[in-house]
Structure 1
Amino acid sequence: GGSGRAAVAELVRRGHEVTAVSRHAAALTGPHVRGVDGDATDPATVDALVAGQDAIVVTIGISENPVRVRLRGPAGTPIDVRSRATREVVAAMRRHGVRRVVVQSSYGVGSTRDRLPFGTRLVFALLLAPQIADEERMSSELRASGLDWVEVQPVYLTDDDVPQAPFASPDGEIRSMKVSRRQVGRVLADAVEHDDVVRCSLAVSHDPEAQAAPQRRSATAARR
């Protein structure tokens, strides 16, 4: 999805070699990127791809219309895809001795549950309840993993091309209720590279008062 592509682009920009897996990842293959078509909930697929990696980034989700998913269930993706994929990733990482795992969930899950505005809580309850419940399970899987985990919790995602560094807080603080996928990709890459955010949940938002700054500032934001 959008956040995954943004993370791949940012990691490559920083000099990493990236293996990307999704049902349609082969199109991503290019300089420093190996795209693999596959199911992230399949144990054999995940095990083979985790072996030899230095870190894993999980940006799993359901791309279908949320109203349809709520009324009829997803057509092509299991409703518990987030927790299932994370469980398989964690198990494979333990087998292969890979320590760093970065997982994207949502602001309003786990430690930030009580910080949501009332209107957003209503949307979660009425429209997204099954998906949020699965994100809660995913978050629990992550925290119980014993690995060097980082949970990235963006607010509402946009496709805006925002040059500013995002605001990322381990205390659940946010500066707005939106953030671009490009900004989230920067925080995901920071979480791969920086040890001072290990075992933190980072609330990620756009700061309307921030000035455009060099890309490197995103690392500072993630350490706040």
Structure 2
Amino acid sequence: MGMQIALFGATGGTGLQVVEQALEAGHRIRALVRDPAKLPEREGLIVIQGDALDQDAVNRCVQGADAVICSLGSHGKAEPVEDLGTQCILRAMQAHGPRRLIAVTSMGVGDSIEQVAAVFRAIMKLTLRRVMEAKERQEQAIMASDLDWTIVRPGGLTNGPRTGNYQSGLDKSIKATRISRADVADFILKELAAGDYIRATPAVSLP
């Protein structure tokens, strides 16, 4: 029997893949989106209009869910939303009951920095500093909670197909190569079912 999943970041590249694959697997999705026109409702999908920084809207999305998936991204916004949006999600989960959280950040965050090639570390510092700092704060907030969390750290994201041919785990020898958003979604949903990485930070990337 499928789960009811509260999804944040549903109209981003990874979020859209989570929607497709979760519905295909028989799950039901409650997605919080600012613009419902970007995600038409269909069987198994409930679209809730609102912003991830609006606590009331986040509460409505989380209520009744069995698990929460967070794939929030800044997508060109003036200020990153990953950390503040995640804090709203954590408060909603504490208030309304679901304990299982899977959040997507990035390789290069926290203790995965050495898994990123030096040239890309330099680029990240120059062009993505504020986003990476927000992701650091996001991870710290999740880790400080008592929830059953998993933080998924993918390598560089592409729009390629789902292949299932990727490496994942806690081994620091996994490097930040490319991986499709479809394969990241595949890993998220497999982890939701298996629970192999509770309170852990698996990397996921191509071999």
TM beyond 0.5 = yes
Residue in structure 2 matching 1:40, options 52, 60, 73: 52
1:116-127 matches, within 5 Å, as: 116-127=116-127
Q: Percent identity?
A: 29
Structure 2 alignment gaps of length 5 or more: 1-11
Q: RMSD across aligned C-alpha pairs, in angstroms?
A: 1.5
Counterpart residue number, 2:25: 14
- Give the residue type in structure 2 aligned to 1:50: V
| Larger CA Rg, structure 1 vs 2 | 1
Q: Deviations over 1:86-143 (max 9, x none)?
A: 1010111011121000100000101202222101110111111111000000000010
CA distance in 2 between counterparts of 1:97 and 1:6 reads 26
Matching residue's letter, 1:61: G
Separation in structure 1 between the aligned mates of residue 65 and residue 196 of structure 2, nearest angstrom? 20
Q: Which residue of 1 aligns with 2:150?
A: 150
CA distance in 2, matches of 1:176, 1:153: 9
Partner of 2:201, secondary structure, is strand
Q: What is the aligned counterpart of 1:30 among 42, 55, 63?
A: 42
Segments of 4+ moved more than 4 angstroms: none
- TM-score under structure 1 length normalisation: 0.82
Figure out how many residues of one structure are paired with residues of the other and give that number: 195
Range with greater deviation from structure 2 (35-44 or 50-59): 35-44
CA gap of 1:25–1:173, structure 2 versus 1, over 3 A, is: farther
Please report how far the alpha carbon of residue 36 of structure 1 lies from its aligned counterpart in structure 2 after TM superposition. Answer: 2.1
- One-letter amino acid of the structure 1 residue matched with residue 69 of structure 2: V
> Structure 1, unaligned stretches of length 5 or more?
65-73, 208-224
Q: Is the 8 A contact 2:164 2:186 kept in 1?
A: no
Write the letter of the residue equivalent to 2:181. Answer: R
Q: Secondary structure at the match of 1:140?
A: helix
- In the TM superposition, what whole-angstrom CA distance separates every residue of 1:129-161 from its partner, at most 9, and x where no partner exists? 111000000000010011000001111100011
Q: Is the 8 A contact 2:166 2:179 kept in 1?
A: yes
Partner amino acid, structure 2, of 1:4: G
